[in-house]
Amino acid sequence: MSGFLNVAGVHKSYGAHHVLKGIDLDVGQGETFAIIGPNGAGKTTLFRVMTGEVAFEKGTITYDGRDVTRTSAYERVRLGMGRTFQVARIFPDVTVEENIVVTIEARGRAARDGTAPWYRVKPSGSLVDEAHGYLSDLGLLAKKDVEAKFLSHGDKKRLELGIALAGRPRILMLDEPTAGMSPMDRSATIELIRDLRARKNMTVVMTEHDMDVIFGLATRILVMHHGETIAVGTIEEVSNNPVVREVYLGEEMYGAEG
Amino acid sequence: MNSAKIIALIVSAATFVTLPYWANQGIMFLAGLVLIEAIFALSWNLLFGFTGLASFGHAAFFAIGAYLTGYALRAALGVPFLLLILASGVLGAAAAVVVGVVLLRRTTGIHLAIFTLALAEVLRIIIGYSTALGREDGLASIPRPSLELGFMTISLNSGTSYYWFLCVAFALVAWLMWVVCHGAFGRILVSIRQDPERASFVGVNVPAYRLTAFTISGGVAAVSGALYAPWAQIVTPESAHWIHSTQPMLASLLGGAHSFFGPIIGTVLFSLINYLTRNLVGLSELVIGVTLLVIVLAAPSGVAGLFKALRTSYATKPGAGAQREAS
């Protein structure tokens, strides 16, 4: 219960379909916590529960010592939860730079710090500088004037990461950060997340299918199956767990034994 | 803003301001209507083009402003005209808050469109039954007011003076709307239009922004109604009719909903088409219908989008030509 983000006894059903059957997890500050499991295990639902996107029947979510079970998504963002989506969600009709600028402005307006009054047609120089900072971190500065919808898939994913960062998150929630990426983009993204997490002192929670990404980033792993936790621990602990080997790596093991 | 836009702006402003010197009374009256309807269209497009909400009953807000101002001027209550315009805006905004709180909580897309359409029709029918508001005949012979500025009083009794007043009022409201649409607030509205869920995940309280946009839009629509009453000098339930609600939609689609100036361009074009085909009964509808069809099929972002596309292709042409020569 001492963790930074804590999920306790969460149940969630879609109609008669019981998707989450009492999930508990505890993410410590500075950790990179990965949630894995076969398709349909309930990873994404758990993710949406943590970010405040969907309501759930039972259980509590605590973030930074505060009960956020009934806190709406945008308020959780204001408390420092940034997130990305499985399929990158960006603002397609505006430029790459404006994607970041509007995010910084939204943060400023939410905090009522006077940096983005309603009538400020041209964003202040310091705000634009901050936006350029994120873009150069992500290697997107050269594309700042491109309309975001024209970006490649990998660049869209990176821009979305930039949008999340511009909210100055304390915990970054990444839903399959490398989904659909080329192997080259994937290893670049691993490097990028590793670097950002260290420099910005962020806690990371992610779902991921790709084992290279998990081995490259995660400090702890939670394995889900049919809406239940079957194992949680470090990479070594989890990969030596017999239940995990059976349900998650079952086919491979079966093949090896047969 | 680029130089072409600034030149177009100066030329249009000069055309409208000098109009009483070279055009007849009839055309001046139509030009005044264009200014009023353009404000109305701007108010609608703040919702549609910038926030991504479609109201199909916006004429209700226009009628609220028109009837309040028309009634007060006829009753000669002695309320200063500027205060009357302000009161109309406040009443329109208040109505929008009530409607918005109820509707925006649950509905955005097609449901919002149908609900607003239905509410506007209800208002029109209520006005039709209200004796105080002249039932189906409306309020006729509304007097034109004087403008009390404290240090001086300007009579707006003549058509020309009220026309110039309309020019000034239009410039002020359009400038204010431009700032609303292009400032930090407007940028957040545009992000909501593009992806409300993403917007909420950058910490935007989407329902609150939508309600604010709805309120501003209702208030400005009522202001356009308030400007209308003394200009037409008659207000009828037709001003709340759903056909009137379609005017800003058609103007915005024709002119370009994602451009600030689109609804203004659209309003001017519609009036031109109407004027040029005024002697050919039924032809104006046909021309407008065909124009809309062409716009939707060939230029989905309207006339403003067409200008932008032309400019872009013109700008890239020299480079393309050089490449051809090189190869």
Is some CB atom of chain A closer than 8 A to the CB atom of B206? yes
Confidence class for position B191, pLDDT limits 50, 70, 90: very high
Residues of chain B contacting A108 with CB distance shorter than 8 Å: 184
In this structure, the strands spanning A32-36 and A203-207 are: parallel
Question: How many angstroms separate the CA atoms of B218 and B223, rounded?
Answer: 9
CA angle A140, A128, A185 (to 5 degrees): 15
pLDDT of residue B323: 42
Torsion of CA A57, A173, A102, B248, to 10 degrees: -40
pLDDT for res A157: 92
pLDDT mean across residues, chain B: 90
Question: What does the pLDDT look like over B19-68, one tens digit per residue?
Answer: 999 999 999 999 999 999 999 999 999 999 999 999 999 999 999 999 99
Whether chain A has a CB inside 8 Å of the CB on B18: the answer is no
8 Å CB contact between A184 and A196: no
pLDDT(B313) > 80: no
Please answer yes or no on whether B194 and A73 come within 8 Å at the CB atom.
Answer: no
Count of C-beta atoms within a 10 Å radius of residue B314? 9
Closest CA to A23 of A10, A14, A12: A10
Is the model's pTM score more than 0.80?
yes
Strand partners, A205: A33, A173
How long, in residues, is chain B? 327
Q: Which among A163, A54, A174 is positioned nearest to A107, based on CA atoms?
A: A163
User: Which residue is closest to A104 within chain B, CA to CA?
Assistant: B202
Selecting from A53, A91, A98 the residue whose C-beta is nearest the C-beta of B195 gives A91
Residues of A in contact with B180 (CB under 8 A): 118-119
User: Considering only alpha carbons, which residue of chain A is nearest residue B187?
Assistant: A102
The Cα B93–Cα B128 span in angstroms is 22
Q: What angle do CA A184, A189, A194 make, to 5 degrees?
A: 135
Verify whether the Cβ–Cβ distance B191 to A106 is below 8 Å. Answer: yes
Q: Is A189 on the interface with B (CB under 8 A)?
A: no
Closest residue, chain A, to B189 (C-alpha): A102
Query: How far does the CA of residue A119 sit from the closest CA of chain B (Å)?
Result: 5
> Given this model, what pLDDT does residue B326 score?
41
User: What angle is formed at CA B82 by the lines to CA B77 and CA B87, rounded to 5 degrees?
Assistant: 70
- The single-letter code of the amino acid at B117 is L
Q: Cβ contacts (< 8 Å) between B258 and chain A: which residues?
A: 93
Query: What is each CA distance from B266 to B5, B53, B286, in whole angstroms?
Result: 16, 19, 16
Contacts of A129 (CB under 8 A, 6+ apart): none
* Residue B285 half-sphere exposure toward CB, CA atoms < 13 A: 3
At residue B260, what are phi and psi to the nearest 5 degrees? -65, -45
Q: Is A98 on the interface with B (CB under 8 A)?
A: yes
Enter the tokens of residue B47: 């919702």
Sign of CA dihedral A113, A118, A119, A123: positive
Distance CA B3, CA A205 (A): 49
- pLDDT for the residue numbered B319: 47
CB of B205 within 8 Å of any CB in chain A?
yes
The Cα–Cα gap between A33 and A173 comes to 10
**pLDDT tens sequence across B234-271:** 999 999 999 899 999 999 998 998 999 999 999 999 89
Specify which residues A34 forms β-bridges with. Answer: A206, A221
Q: B202, B205, B259, B308: which to substitute to probe chain A, counting the most A Cβ within 10 Å?
A: B202
Q: What is the pLDDT of residue B322?
A: 42
Burial of A46 (0-12, 13-18, 19+ CB in 10 A): buried
Contacts for B18 with CB less than 8 Å, ≥ 6 apart: none
User: Going residue by residue through chain A (258 aa), what tens digit of pLDDT does each one get?
Assistant: 458 999 999 999 998 899 999 999 999 999 999 999 888 888 999 999 999 999 899 999 999 999 999 999 999 999 999 999 989 999 999 999 999 999 999 999 999 998 899 999 999 999 999 999 999 999 999 999 999 999 999 899 999 999 999 999 999 999 999 888 888 888 888 999 999 888 888 999 999 888 888 888 999 999 998 888 988 999 888 888 888 887 766 554 443 333
Chain B residues close to A172, C-beta within 8 Å: none
What ipTM describes this predicted complex?
0.89
pLDDT digits (tens, 9 = 90+) for B289-311: 888 888 778 877 888 888 887 77
Q: Which residue of chain B has the CA closest to A77?
A: B203
Nearest to B182 among A92, A105, A121 (CB): A121
| Cβ neighbours of B202 in A, within 8 Å | 77, 102-103, 106-107, 163, 166-167
